[in-house]
Amino acid sequence: MRIELPENVNKIIHQLQANGFEAYAVGGCVRDSLLGRIPQDWDITTSATPEQVKSLFARTIDTGIEHGTVTVMLDHTGYEVTTYRIDGEYEDARHPKEVTFTGNLIEDLKRRDFTINAMAYNDEQGLVDAFSGIEDLEDQVIRCVGNPLDRFGEDALRMLRAVRFAAQLGFSIEEETRAGITALAGTIQKVSAERIQVELVKLLVSAHPEELRTAWELGLTAVFLPEFDEMMKTPQNTKHHMYPVGEHTLKALQEIPRDKVLRLTMLFHDVAKPICRTTDEAGCDHFRGHPEKGVDMTKDILRRLKFDNDTIHKVCVLVRYHDDRPPITPVKIRQAVSRIGLENFPQLFLVKRADTLAQSLYEREAKLAYIEDYRRLYEEILEKGWCVRKQDMAINGKDLIALGMAPGKELGEELDRLFTHVLAVPEHNTKEKLLQLAHK
C-alpha cells in the first residue's frame, strides 16, 4: 500500500531517519489518504524526543512540549511532530495524569481512539496497521482500539468522536463500541463544553448531520443537549408537517449547505416548539411564539456550549426570522430586509427553503414560490442599490443641523421619518429631495 506523502512531510521524516530516529505520518492523514480524501493536516509521530526534534529543524514552535508535540515550520506551513507516547491514567475521564515517552511505535498507536485512526505510514516501512484499521476502513466501521469500556473510561469525549467520524465518513459504529457508549454515555457530562463544541460542529457540518440521531439513540444528547431529546418527543399534528419536531430538524439539517451558522440555525430553529405546543379542539397542534422563545433558548444553549458571540448573534437572527413572512410587495420586502438586516440575506432564504423541504408536501410549491418571489425583490434591492439602512441615506444629522435644526430627540425622529419615506419611495433617496422633504 503506497501513500503519496507531501514533499515537506517526507523531508521531515527523512531528516529524522537520517539522524537515527523512526518517523511516520500518523492518524487522520493516513486514514484520509487511504480513503482518497484530502487530509486537513499532516501529523508525524517519531521516536525522537521533543528536544531532539527541535535540534534537527531550523524553525520550530513549542506547541505542547509536555505532551511531546513540536510544530516544525517549513515554507510557512506547520507540521505537528509528536514523540511516541503512552498516555497515563486519565483523571475524571478528561486529562491524562501524565504522558510517558516510549521508543515503541505500537505503544503509541495503542493509545489512539479508533482502529481507522491508529495507522502509521512512511515510504520505507510502508503501512503499519497493528489493529486491523484497513479492514475496518473497508467494512466502513468505527471500532475502538482495545476494550471500548476502558477507552471511553479514559476519555469520555471519544464517545462523541465516534459519532462524529461516523457522520463525516458515512460509517457505522461497531456493535461493542456502541454498547460501550450506551453504558457510559452519562460520563460525557465530565467533558468540557469547549471540547464538546468542537465535535458537535464537526458532526453538524459533515456529510451526514442526521447522525445526530445516533448521538440521541446512544444517550449522549440527553446529557449535553437535552433540548434535542425534547424535540424528538414532540409530535406535530398539523397539515404542514409529517414528522415530530426532532425528525423534522434532522431532515432540515440535510437540506441546508454545510456551513456552521446555517447548520446550527436548522438545529435550533424549532427548539422552542416543545414548550410552545398547544392542541386545539380539532386536535391540531399550534406552536405560537416559538421563533421568539427559540431565540432565548438558542442563546442559552450556545452560551452553555461556549460558542463565540458572533456565531450566537448570527444564529439567533436566523432563528428569529425563519418563519417571518412579509407580504410580497416591493415596499413590504424593503421594510422586512431593513428590519431583519441586509447582512442576514441571502442566508435567510436558505433557512426558509430547508425548513420547507423538511415539512409535509402540503402547499409545498406555493411555499417555495413565495421564497423565490421574496428573493427576487431582495435582489432588486441590490441591483438598484436601494437604501435599506439608515446609515445609507443620502443625508444625515449634520445635513439637518446645517438646515437649522437643533441636535437632539426631534432631529432623530425627523431622520426616522425620512428613512420610513425612503423605504416607501426609494427614488427619493437623494440629498436634494430629502432636504426638500425635511423643510416641510
Site residues (vs ligand ATP, CB under 6 A): 27-28, 40, 43, 112-113, 117-118, 155, 157-158
Residue 155 binds which entry of ligand ATP, Mg ion, none, with Cβ cut-offs from 5 to 8 Å by kind? Answer: ligand ATP
List the single partner that 223 binds among Mg ion, ligand ATP, none, CB under 5 to 8 Å by kind.
none
* Least separation in angstroms between CB 418 and ligand ATP: 52
Select from Mg ion, ligand ATP, none the partner in contact with residue 355, using the beta carbon and a kind-dependent cut-off of 5 to 8 Å.
none
> Nearer Cβ to ligand ATP, position 111 or 273?
111
For 75, list phi and psi in degrees, rounded to 5. 50, 45
The distance of closest approach from Cβ of residue 79 to Mg ion in the complex, given in angstroms and rounded to an integer, is 12
CA distance 269 to 145: 38
- Closer residue to ligand ATP, CB minimum distance, 18 or 38: 38
Instruction: Tell me: does residue 28 bind Mg ion (CB under 5 A).
Output: yes
Which three cell numbers mark 128? Answer: 503499519
320 binds, among ligand ATP, Mg ion, none (CB under 5 to 8 A by kind): none
Q: Which does 112 bind (CB under 5 to 8 A by kind): Mg ion, ligand ATP, none?
A: ligand ATP
Q: What is the longest distance spanned by two Cα atoms in the chain?
A: 88
The long-range contacts involving 395-403, CB below 8 angstroms and separated by at least 24 positions, are 395/431, 395/434, 395/435, 395/438, 399/431, 399/434, 399/435, 400/438, 403/435, 403/438, 403/439
What does 273 interact with, of Mg ion, ligand ATP, none (CB < 5 to 8 A by kind)? none
Residue type, 416: D
Least separation in angstroms between CB 10 and Mg ion: 19
140 backbone φψ class: left, alpha, beta (φ>0; ψ -120 to 50)? left
**Between 27 and 291, whose beta carbon lies closer to ligand ATP?**
27
- DSSP per position, 113-160: SBGGG--EEETTTEEE-TT-HHHHHHHTEE-BSS-HHHHHHH-THHHH
Q: How far is the CB of 40 from ligand ATP (least distance, A)?
A: 5
| Minimum separation from the CB atom of position 194 to Mg ion (A) | 17
CB burial of residue 118 (10 Å; 0-12, 13-18, 19+) = buried
Residues that bind Mg ion (CB under 5 A): 28
